[in-house]
Amino acid sequence: AQKVTQAQTEISVVEKEDVTLDCVYETRDTTYYLFWYKQPPSGELVFLIRRNSFDEQNEISGRYSWNFQKSTSSFNFTITASQVVDSAVYFCALRVMYSGGGADGLTFGKGTHLIIQP
Amino acid sequence: EAQVTQNPRYLITVTGKKLTVTCSQNMNHEYMSWYRQDPGLGLRQIYYSMNVEVTDKGDVPEGYKVSRKEKRNFPLILESPSPNQTSLYFCASSSPGDRGLLGQETQYFGPGTRLLVL
């Protein structure tokens, strides 16, 4: 069985601070995808990134960056120079891919509520 | 416009009154899933479908049914709703793909359905 742990239930920082959201996952499968989603107060789920288990290259997109480390089973998300609009609940998720071409559903962490104070 | 639609968006019902939440996607995706989101528990998968006529249980399938007679539709059925099924429900669809790139949207979620069972 798969498991995703987001140990930080809530984080509150002041605008312009950098903040890192932790994600630790567990799976016995070797082929999987990792995701981050953002859920703003309006409630919809916004896809942010997908990473393949065979690609540990870190990604940067503007103020967002992701650090994928298989050795520690972590896929952490960093926001630099945070802004009030970054306030949301962020979910990390895992999806196992099967050798026959099928896939499991997404296993989500419980989410981290990020509060950016002006 | 590529999207996942859910209906209704909001529903108040009473215990035992059968209901169906519809989900439809226009992207010809093979995979579709249902999740429920509850405070402190994050998102949990109810059922998923890898293709037409192929469905499987997720983590919390009790009290729910699904069907996948057409590729685009994946309705969630509550035969006899109970108050513990009060939740926010999300439908999602996706297609197996190769390595994902930042900015390439590979997972689509519906807008959510808020259900209250009295």
Q: What pLDDT was estimated at residue B101?
A: 35
What is residue A31's predicted lDDT score, i.e. its pLDDT?
85
CA-to-CA separations, A41 to A10, B69, B117, in angstroms, rounded: 14, 34, 23
Amino acid at A7: A
B100 touching A, CB under 8 A?
yes
**Residue of chain B whose alpha carbon sits nearest to that of A96:** B96
The nearest CA of chain B is from the CA of A86 a distance in Å of 17
CA dist., res. A9 & res. B86, Å (int)? 22
Pick from B42, B48, B100: which is nearest to A105 by CB?
Answer: B48
* Single-letter code of the amino acid located at A26: E
Coil, strand, or helix at residue A68? strand
Q: Check CB contact of B63 with chain A, cutoff 8 Å.
A: no
The Cα-based distances of A70 to A19, A51, A52, B22 in angstroms read 21, 12, 11, 38
The single-letter DSSP state of residue A70 is: G
Residues of chain A positioned with their CB less than 8 A from the CB of B30: none
Residue A109 contacts residue A4 (beta carbons within 8 Å): yes
Sign of CA pseudo-dihedral B25, B27, B28, B33: negative
Burial (CB < 10 A; 0-12, 13-18, 19+), residue B11, is middle
Which chain B residues contact residue A75 at CB under 8 A?
none
- Judging contacts by C-beta atoms under 8 Å, the chain B residues touching residue A61 are 102-103
Strand, helix or coil for residue B58: coil
| H helical segments located in chain B | none
| Each residue's pLDDT tens digit, A64-111 | 999 999 999 999 999 999 999 999 999 999 988 766 655 667 889 999
Say what the pLDDT of residue B1 is.
Answer: 78
- Per-residue pLDDT in tens (0 to 9) along chain B, 118 residues: 778 999 999 999 999 999 999 999 998 888 899 999 998 888 999 999 988 999 999 889 999 999 999 999 999 999 999 999 999 999 998 876 543 333 234 678 999 999 999 9
Q: In angstroms, rounded to a whole number, what is the distance separating the alpha carbons of residues B85 and B82?
A: 6
* A1: closest chain B residue by CA: B59
Rounded to whole angstroms, the Cα distance separating A86 from A113 reads: 10
| A52, A61, A110: residue with CB nearest B100 | A52
Q: Is B107 an interface residue toward A (CB < 8 Å)?
A: yes
User: Could you tell me which residue, A32 or B13, shows the higher pLDDT?
Assistant: B13
CA distance B34 to B43: 10
- B42/A43 CB distance under 8 A: no
Q: What residues of chain A lie within 8 A of the CB of B50, using their CB?
A: 102-103
A2 neighbors A27 (Cβ within 8 angstroms): yes
